[in-house]
Amino acid sequence: MAAPVLELTDARLRYGDRELWSGLDLQVRAGEFLAVIGPNGTGKTSLLRAILGQVTLTSGRIELLGQPVGRGNDRIGYVPQQKPLDQGTPIRARDLVAFGVNGRRWGLPHLSPAERRRVDEALDAVGATAYAKAPVASLSGGEQQRVRIAQSVVGNPALLLCDEPLLSLDLAHQRAVSELIDEQRRRIDTAVVFVTHDVNPILGMVDRVLYLAGGQFRVGTPDEVLRSEVLSEMYGTTVDVFHSRGRIIVVGGPEGSEAHAHHIDEEKHA
């Protein structure tokens, strides 16, 4: 079997006295789609930042394609949690996507005709062709998000890290963007790690789930992890998981547990 694209071994992350997770062993294979789910503050973004080499594990190892991870790896595509681009950012949407080609992120890249075609295809796939020449800062939050997603896939990364990439997208664009990511991993075997608070929009694509809650984690297929017994054990209280018309609805949680209640509410109202 091929070596994993991403491998975490006995990974532990602690900020001061606060331990987010420990004993985390995880392998993500080429072409695999892993969803990372869990309430606010459980360390999902921190996990992505550790993979990017932006935070250092307290102990344990993270390897990408058999090498320890470090900053600035051009085999990784990254869609950060959304923040609006600075109004002063003068570049056009198309240029932002072009920075993602071959990891050339600094300075305006000179692209070959084939690379230019790839940029056009990526813009088209996220429905951003109409505003490709507009300054990115002038675009709406959802439009900017689509441009970022085009940038993250255009360099054909070995690993694609997405932090809540569907937030602020309408349903049609949620579908277009998730299908683009799915198509990318099928076409060139990109491994995908996709942080989300709602698994439903991507349920049909997900191979495995990493569920983080209360310092614990579970890894398995959605059917193995998203079950009442498993979530009740993790949360230490009764949690019900219902399946309805191809969707998973999680209900329950401890009184006064803001993070959990918030998570459950969002799932319920999604």
Residue list 17-36, contact with ligand ATP (CB under 6 A): 20
Query: CA geometry: angle at 36 spanning 169 and 137, to 5°?
Result: 35
Q: Which stretch binds ligand ATP (CB under 6 A): 44-52, 116-124, 134-142, 178-186?
A: 44-52
By CB under 6 A, how many residues form the interface with ligand ATP? 10
User: How far, in Å, CA of 226 to CA of 240, rounded?
Assistant: 10
Q: Which stretch binds ligand ATP (CB under 6 A): 39-47, 62-70, 96-104, 242-250?
A: 39-47
Please identify which residue in 27, 31, 41, 60 interacts with ligand ATP, judged by CB under 6 A. Answer: 41
DSSP class of residue 266 equals: H
If the CB atoms of residues 95 and 198 are measured against ligand ATP, the closer one turns out to be 198
The distance of closest approach from Cβ of residue 182 to ligand ATP in the complex, given in angstroms and rounded to an integer, is 23
Q: Residue 107 region, left (φ>0) first, then alpha (ψ -120 to 50), else beta? A: left
Side chain identity, residue 199: V
Question: Would you state the structure tokens that stand for residue 194, as one six-digit string?
Answer: 């996709």
If the CB atoms of residues 42 and 174 are measured against ligand ATP, the closer one turns out to be 42
User: How far, in Å, CA of 58 to CA of 42, rounded?
Assistant: 16
42 scored as a contact of ligand ATP (CB under 6 A) = yes
User: How far, in Å, CA of 96 to CA of 153, rounded?
Assistant: 12
Residues that bind ligand ATP (CB under 6 A): 15, 20, 38, 40-46
